C-alpha cells in the first residue's frame, strides 16, 4: 500500500501597499520622470504598470476607497475635514472620517489569518475608535493629519496644533533622528520581524508623507538634482510627455494643454527662478529618498525569503499639489515668522515649501489639471502591481484599460484567495464592495474589467463620469467654469478636445448616468462661491488663526489694563 503525503495548503501571499502622497502621473521613472526611482521601476519591471488608473482628487477619499473598496460618499469621505463647507457637515456620506458602515482590507485579511500592519499617514479619523489599530491593524504607527514636518514632530504650522502621531492608538513620540520616509519603512520592518515566529502572512501598508507639503529631503538627495530644472516647468512638462510616449505609457503625439494657472517662466525674475529651481530639486530629492526606502524594504524581504511570495502595490493618493501656501499676505507673514524660508534653506530642516501650480503641471504631464480637480491630472496616477515570479502577472507590461482605486481591495482578495464581505460583517449590514478584481487584466486580458459600466465620482463639486473610453467632467472655479465636457480618453488623455457638441447623444446619456450616480450616492451640490482653497484657509483660521487672535487679544487686553492701572496710579500719586 502506497501512502501519499498530504500536500501542505498553499501559503497566502504577503501584501505590501506602498502609498505615495501627492505624486503626479509622471513622477516615476518608468512613467516618464527624470527623477531617479530605480526601486519603484524595478517593481514595474517585475509586474504590471497601469496607465489608466484613477483615484480621488484628494487624499482621504482615495485612502478610504483603497481601504474598503467602497465609493467615497458611501464610506464617509464625501469630503474632508479641511475642505467641507459648513452646509454639508453631518449630512449622510459627509462624515469627513471613514464611517463604521465599511470593512477595511485589514479586517478582512486579519479574519483570514493575516498579520496586519500600517505605518505613516492615516487621515481617516483621529479618535480612538477610528485610528488604524481599531480598524483591523494589529500594529500601527500613524499620523491622523493630512501632513506634517518630515524632520521633526512638528505640525503644518497654522493648520494643526500638533503632529498627531500615535502607536496602536496611543500618543507617540518620534525619534530624534526622524526622517519620514526612513521612519515609516523601518517601523514596518520592525513590525514584520516582531511577529515572524507566528508563521502567518502579513499585510504591510506603508503610507509615505512624500511628497506632501512641506517638501523636504536630506541634503544629499537635494544635491543630486543641483544641475537640473533650470529650463523651467514648461520645458519639463514637454520632456516628460515625450518620455511617457516613448515608454508606451501614453499614445504618441497625444495633445496637451497649458493650464491657465501655469505662470510664464520667462517672466520670473532671477530670485523667483532660483527659488523655483530649488524647490523642484528638493521635490526630486524627496521622491528619491522615498524610493531608496522602498528599495531597503524590498532588500529586507529578499533577505528573509519573503520577496517571491509578496504582492506589491504602488500608487499615489492623488495628483500633484498645486497650492501655493505663500499666495496670501497673511499666510506669507505667518510662515516667514515660523520657518526659515530663505532660498538656500528650501527643502531642508526648518523649511516650508511647495512646488506650486507651475511644477505641478509638469509632474502631471502630459495630463491636464492636478490635485483637487476632476481633470486627469488630479485623478490619474501611476499604479504598479507586482508579484515577482508569479505566472499570473505578466511582468514588465503596461495595461491601458480603465481601473479604479476601489478595484485594489477586491484584486488583493482575489490574488490571495480570501473571501470578501458580501454586504454583511460580524452579523450586521455593511456597504458592499463595488470595485472589481483586476486579476484578468494582470493576466493579460485586453480592455477594462469595467467594460462599458459607468463609474461616477465627485469631490468638492468637481465631478466625473467614466464609461468605456469616454469621460464626462466638470470642474468648478477656480480651475474650471462649471461646464460639463466630454472627452475620449483613449485618443485624448490630455482632455484637449471637448466632444459634447459632436456627440450629443453620448453626452446626454452620460449626463443621465452621472445624475443616477449622484442620487444613489447622496452627492450634494456645493454652496455658491465655494472653492476648496478658500475652505482650507477658513479651516486653518478657525482651527489655529482664531485661537491665536483670541489669545493675542486677551494678552493685549491684559497688558492694556495693566498699563491703564499704572497710569491711573501715577496720576493719583501726583495729586497727593
> Catalytic residue numbers?
59, 123
DSSP character string of 152-206: SS-B-TTT-SS--EEETTEE----TT--HHHHHHHHHHHHHHHTGGG---EEEEE
User: What's the residue count for the chain?
Assistant: 576
DSSP tag of 406: G
At which residue does the C-alpha cell 496720576 appear? Answer: 571
Half-sphere exposure at residue 519, Cβ-oriented, CA atoms within 13 angstroms = 6
Strands 139-143 and 115-121: parallel
Whole-angstrom distance, CA of residue 403 vs CA of residue 55: 9
SS3 for 372-392 is CCCCHHHHECCEEEECCCCCC
Placement of cell 515608454 in the chain = 247
Q: Which residues of 483-506 are buried (b: 16+ CB within 10 A; e: fewer)?
A: ebbbbbbeebbbbeebbbeeeeeb
Quick one: how far is CA 482 from the chain centroid?
Answer: 24
Residue 451 CB neighbour total at 10 angstroms = 11
Gap between the Cα atoms of 478 and 457, Å rounded:
19
Residue 319 in contact with residue 381, Cβ under 8 Å?
Answer: yes
CA 373 to chain centre: 13
> Using an 8 Å Cβ cutoff, are 328 and 260 in contact?
no
CA–CA gap between residue 16 and residue 554 (Å, rounded)? 51
Torsion sign, CA atoms 394, 297, 355, 477 = positive
Number of CB atoms found within 10 A of residue 152's CB: 13
Q: Which of 531, 489, 534 is nearest to 510 (CA)?
A: 489
Smallest CA-to-CA distance from 209 within 142, 120, 320 is with: 120
CA 175 to chain CA mean position, Å: 25
**DSSP secondary structure code for residue 148 in this structure:** B
Amino acid at each position: 500500500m502506497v501512502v501519499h503525503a498530504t500536500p501542505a495548503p498553499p501559503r497566502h501571499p504577503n501584501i505590501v501597499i506602498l502609498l505615495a502622497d501627492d505624486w503626479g502621473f509622471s513622477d516615476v521613472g518608468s512613467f516618464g520622470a527624470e527623477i531617479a526611482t530605480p526601486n519603484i521601476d524595478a517593481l514595474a519591471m517585475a509586474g504590471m504598470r497601469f496607465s489608466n488608473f484613477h483615484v480621488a482628487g484628494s487624499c482621504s477619499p482615495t485612502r478610504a476607497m483603497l481601504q474598503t473598496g467602497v465609493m467615497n460618499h458611501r464610506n464617509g469621505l464625501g469630503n474632508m475635514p479641511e475642505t467641507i463647507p459648513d452646509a454639508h457637515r453631518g449630512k449622510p456620506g459627509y462624515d469627513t472620517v471613514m464611517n463604521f458602515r465599511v470593512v477595511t482590507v485589514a479586517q478582512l485579511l486579519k479574519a483570514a489569518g493575516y498579520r496586519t500592519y500600517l505605518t505613516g499617514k492615516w487621515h481617516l479619523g483621529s479618535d480612538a475608535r477610528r485610528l488604524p489599530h481599531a480598524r483591523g491593524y494589529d500594529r500601527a504607527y500613524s499620523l491622523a493629519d493630512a501632513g506634517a514636518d518630515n524632520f521633526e514632530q512638528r505640525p503644518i504650522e497654522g493648520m494643526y496644533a500638533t503632529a498627531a502621531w500615535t502607536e496602536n492608538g496611543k500618543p507617540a513620540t518620534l525619534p530624534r533622528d526622524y526622517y519620514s520616509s526612513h521612519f515609516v519603512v523601518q517601523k514596518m520592518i520592525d513590525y514584520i520581524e516582531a511577529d515572524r515566529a507566528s508563521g502567518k502572512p502579513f499585510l504591510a501598508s506603508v503610507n509615505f508623507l512624500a511628497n506632501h507639503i512641506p517638501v523636504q529631503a536630506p541634503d544629499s538627495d537635494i544635491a543630486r538634482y543641483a544641475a537640473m530644472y533650470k529650463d523651467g516647468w514648461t520645458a519639463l512638462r514637454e520632456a516628460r510627455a515625450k518620455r511617457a510616449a516613448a515608454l508606451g505609457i501614453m499614445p504618441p503625439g497625444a495633445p496637451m494643454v497649458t493650464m491657465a494657472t501655469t505662470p510664464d517662466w520667462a517672466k520670473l525674475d532671477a530670485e523667483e527662478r532660483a527659488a523655483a529651481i530649488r524647490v523642484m530639486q528638493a521635490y526630486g530629492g524627496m521622491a528619491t529618498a522615498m524610493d531608496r526606502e522602498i528599495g531597503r524594504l524590498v532588500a529586507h524581504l529578499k533577505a528573509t525569503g519573503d520577496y517571491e511570495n509578496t504582492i506589491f502595490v504602488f500608487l499615489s493618493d492623488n495628483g500633484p499639489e498645486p497650492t501655493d501656501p505663500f499666495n496670501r499676505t497673511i499666510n506669507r507673514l505667518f510662515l516667514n515668522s515660523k520657518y526659515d524660508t530663505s532660498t538656500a534653506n528650501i527643502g531642508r530642516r526648518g523649511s516650508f515649501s511647495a512646488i506650486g501650480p507651475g511644477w505641478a503641471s509638469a509632474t502631471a504631464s502630459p495630463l491636464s489639471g492636478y490635485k483637487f480637480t476632476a481633470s486627469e491630472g488630479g485623478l490619474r496616477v501611476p499604479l504598479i502591481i507586482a508579484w515577482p515570479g508569479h505566472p499570473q502577472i505578466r511582468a514588465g507590461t503596461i495595461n491601458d484599460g480603465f481601473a479604479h482605486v476601489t478595484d485594489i481591495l477586491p484584486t488583493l482578495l482575489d490574488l490571495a484567495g480570501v473571501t470578501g464581505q458580501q454586504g454583511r460583517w460580524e452579523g450586521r449590514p455593511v456597504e458592499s464592495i463595488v470595485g472589481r478584481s483586476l486579476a484578468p487584466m494582470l493576466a493579460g486580458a485586453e480592455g477594462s474589467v469595467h467594460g462599458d459600466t459607468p463609474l461616477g465620482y465627485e469631490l468638492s463639486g468637481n465631478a466625473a463620469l467614466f464609461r468605456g473610453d469616454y469621460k464626462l467632467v466638470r470642474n468648478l472655479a477656480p480651475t474650471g467654469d462649471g461646464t460639463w465636457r466630454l472627452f475620449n480618453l483613449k485618443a485624448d488623455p490630455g482632455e484637449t478636445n471637448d466632444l459634447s457638441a459632436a456627440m450629443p447623444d453620448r453626452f446626454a446619456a452620460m449626463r443621465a448616468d452621472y445624475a443616477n450616480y449622484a442620487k444613489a450616492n447622496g452627492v450634494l451640490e456645493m454652496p455658491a462661491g465655494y472653492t476648496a482653497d478658500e475652505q482650507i484657509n477658513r479651516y486653518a483660521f478657525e482651527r489655529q488663526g482664531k485661537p491665536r487672535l483670541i489669545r493675542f487679544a486677551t494678552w493685549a487686553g491684559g497688558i492694556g489694563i495693566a498699563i491703564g492701572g499704572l497710569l491711573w496710579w501715577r496720576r493719583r500719586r501726583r495729586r497727593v
